[in-house]
A = this chain, B = another copy of it.
Amino acid sequence: MNNIAIFGYGTVGKGVYELTKNNPLFKVAAIFDKPEKKEELHNLLVTDIDSIILDKSIDTVVECLGGDSLPHEVIIKSLKNKKNVVTSNKETISKHLSEYLRLANENQVSIQFEASVGGGIPLIYPLTIQSDFDEIFEVKGILNGTSNFILTKMSDEKMDKNEAIKLAQEKGFAEKDPTADLEGIDMVRKGCILASLITKKEIHNEDILHFGISNLNASMIAEVASRGKVLKLITDIKVSDKGTSVIVLPVAIDKNSPLAQVKNEYNGVLILGKYQEPLTFIGKGAGKNPTASAIVSDLVRINKKIAYPYPDLKPYYPLTSDLKGKYLLFSKESLKEVNDPTEQELKAAMFIARVE
């Protein structure tokens, strides 16, 4: 049985507690949160990080705090104190994975983060196993439910962008300020994590070129639809002898392709390898149940001592950006079609979409 502490009793933390409290594999020994949660959590509540970290009976920490600096502190301290860590935090994992793996290996514990990419889709584990024996050429993912929800409403229901954003906010799919989602920042982090796992090298968020959908309007959607295509915001990872390319961008994909069926708040991923012929996963990318489910699958693996033993990442690896292909470059007045554009040409446009 694992003695676990949950940091953060928000939506995801609650889901993890629900899924573990009656499971004989686990005992929830402490939940860290603010003093206001006392009435709800009674004696489980701990408001001081270090008293959990120094408690030798707790062997595993689940980080559900959100943000970056406090989670980073909790993760570092937990690993140094020989506790396993499970987190869904793509921000801190994408920034510090190399350091976390080194600390985990030094202290002979495990850090697992299945929920950080693709929510409830079991993606990180199978992709990591596959990269141990196959040559993975490409991973294409719709990995942000907010932007996909907005794109779906604009495409399928001709909804105005601001109306779609408002609806996403009402349904709890979008933050008050959805910029990070619309500009592809969230999908940069997920691309960084996946590319690190495929290459087993340290990759930096800052190297990932990204184009978002903030400037998208109805006439652009109509232009894409007139070509029999549907617009999706995609993280595209390509690995070849020439290097690794990671780019986040709107792509006009064929209406009959598997990723075109990934609608609303769903995520979807397509994996292409030499042996792993097209493999598609579609599932909920965020929310209480899918995220808690992915976290608890990591906890089960830790309990059964079958968690993936990630090696240290190799040193920092610069990325290339593969810009080959046909692109639509929208400006205020005109639309240009360009083959194999430069980064500058793409950045100068108001909105871009690769055509596939």
- Give residues in A with beta carbon < 8 Å to B: 15, 19-20, 23, 25, 120-122, 125-126, 129-130, 132-134, 258, 261, 273-284, 287, 289-290, 292-293, 296-297, 299-301, 304-309
Contacts and interface: CB of A to CB of B under 8 A. Distances in A.
B278 A284 contact: yes
Contacts of A307: 306
Given A126-B122, A133-B300, A292 B275 contact: yes
Contacts of A120: 275-277, 279
Contact of A261 (B15, B258, B278): B258
Contacts of A258: 261, 282
A133 B23 contact: yes
Contacts of A278: 283-284
A306 B306 CA distance: 4
A293 B25 contact: no
A336 to B, nearest CB: 33
A60 to B, nearest CB: 14
A282 B284 contact: no
Contacts of A284: 277-279
Contacts of A301: 129, 306
B126 A126 contact: yes
